[in-house]
Structure formats: C-alpha cells, structure tokens
Amino acid sequence: MAALLNYNFTSIFCCLFFCLHIITASASSYWVEEDHSSQDWLNHGGDLFNRRYASKENKISPKSAPNLRLKWKFYAGREITATPAIFKGTIYFPSWNGNIYAVKACDGSLVWEQSIQNLTGIKSPGSVTNVTFARATPTLAGDDHHDLLVVGIYGPAVVIALNRIDGKLVWMTQLDSHNTGVITMSGTYYKGLVHFNYFGLLHIATSLAFFITLSIIKLCIHNS
C-alpha cells in the first residue's frame, strides 16, 4: 500500500512539473515568436516578463562607463520620471508638463509631441498639479507592428491609445468614475489585451467614509 501511495505521489508530482514546464515554455516561445530580441523596450520592464534587461546591449559596461560621453539633450519642459519606451529607434515618454513625446534615439530630434489635455479634453483634478499628465512608461501594443502607444493618465484614471506614428488619439476609456482615481503603472500588453491596475475611491452611501481601492482591468486594444 505504501509503495502504491508513493508511486501515485510521484506520478502526480511529475505530471504537475510537466504542466508547469509546458506553460512556461509556451509563454517564452510566444515572446520569441514575436521577435522582441532587439533593442526595443516595449513597456516599463522592457518585455512581457518585466526583466528590465537589454540582452543585446554591448556598448555599456563597467569597463566602458568612464569613456561614455553625452551625445544629445532633449528638453521636455518639466520632470521626466518614467522609463522611456523604445521601438525601431524612436523613444516614447511622458513629461510632467502634460505632454507625451516621440524622439529619435540617434540624435534626440523631435518626431512628435502631444498634449494629453488637448487630445482628451480632460482637465486635471488638481490632486498633484494643475496639468493633466502621465507618469508611467507608455506601452507599445499591436499584433504585428505595435502601432499603438497605450498610456495611463495619472488622474483621473483614464487610459488612452495613440497612433505610434503621429501621436493622434485613437481611443480613450475611463477606468474609475471618481475623478480622484489614478494610474501609476505601465500597462502590460499580451495577445490583443492590455492590462492595467489603478487606485480609486469607494464611497459608502450610508456614511461619510471613503475607502481606497486597487483594481485590475484588461482592455481590448482595438476598441478599449
């Protein structure tokens, strides 16, 4: 009987290990099939696995660091606190002045800039500044050429999708009905869906109490 139980336990363990291996391999193979092994940086963590690792970087190292020199500067008006997204030689990032920028990585020249407030008509609730702005890395999304730049507005909690080529608004959707909702993270894109979390306020009608909530949502990139 003990031998039979031991055999069953071993079989179950091997089956679970095999399933876990298959799931992990499937996720990894999907990312390889999409050919993201270049210097593209598609979201805050760089890729689906949030590795923050540029696998093909060979110019920057502890040995070469003392010899590095400034190549160009770009002035964005105010602070830049987000990690830029990179795709095919163009850098995408928001500034606390309320703009989103696309800049050439080779020389820092401006490709386009867009004001979030002008694009959306959303006025800042004034929780941090009087400017409607994004503070997280834009997410490159799309099935083949990553034609969309998906951005979470800090407040109110609104997600917008821009055309990567010219920065024009494609769609927008509000995640929280309360104007104090905020998005502080970069979205994650996977198979036609982009995932965000956001903070909101929950008001209990029978009392004066407000509760901070954390929600996770997924949006279809084709129509939000």
Q: Mean pLDDT, the chain, as a whole number?
A: 75
pTM of the model: 0.73
Residue with tokens 């104007």, as numbered in its chain: 179
Whether 89 is in a domain gets the answer: yes
Give me the sign of the Cα torsion angle 104, 53, 145, 120.
Answer: negative
Whether 58 is in a domain gets the answer: no
Q: pLDDT confidence of 13, banded at 50, 70, 90?
A: very low
List the one residue out of 90, 104, 94, 102 whose CA is nearest residue 39: 90
Whether 21 is in a domain gets the answer: no
Chain centroid, CA 104 distance in Å: 20
Whether 20 is in a domain gets the answer: no
Continuous H helices in 78-216:
116-120
Q: Provide the domain count of the chain.
A: 1
Q: Can you tell me the mean pLDDT for 185-199?
A: 78
Question: Is 198 strand, coil or helix?
Answer: strand
Q: Measured between alpha carbons, how far is 86 from 95 in angstroms, rounded to an integer? A: 16
Say which CATH number the domain at 203 has. 2.130.10.10
Identity of the highest mean pLDDT range in 15-19, 78-82, 89-93, 215-219: 89-93
Amino acid at site 117 = Q
Residues of the domain holding 197: 37-51+68-220
Looking at residue 21, its pLDDT comes to 41
Looking at residue 202, its pLDDT comes to 54
Residue 32 has pLDDT above 70, yes or no: no
Q: Can you tell me the mean pLDDT for 201-212?
A: 53
The Cα-based distances of 29 to 14, 22, 35, 193 in angstroms read 22, 10, 10, 18
pLDDT tens figures, 54-63: 878 888 888 9
Whether 146 is in a domain gets the answer: yes
Residues 150 and 193 sit within 8 Å (Cβ to Cβ): no
Q: Both tokens of residue 42?
A: 């598609």
Residue with tokens 């129509």, as numbered in its chain: 223
The larger pLDDT score, comparing residue 99 to residue 174, is at: 99
The larger pLDDT score, comparing residue 188 to residue 202, is at: 188
pLDDT tens figures, 107-144: 999 999 999 999 988 887 666 667 888 888 998 988 76
Whether 161 is in a domain gets the answer: yes
Whether 85 is in a domain gets the answer: yes
Whether 156 is in a domain gets the answer: yes
Q: What are phi and psi of 145, to 5 degrees?
A: -110, 10
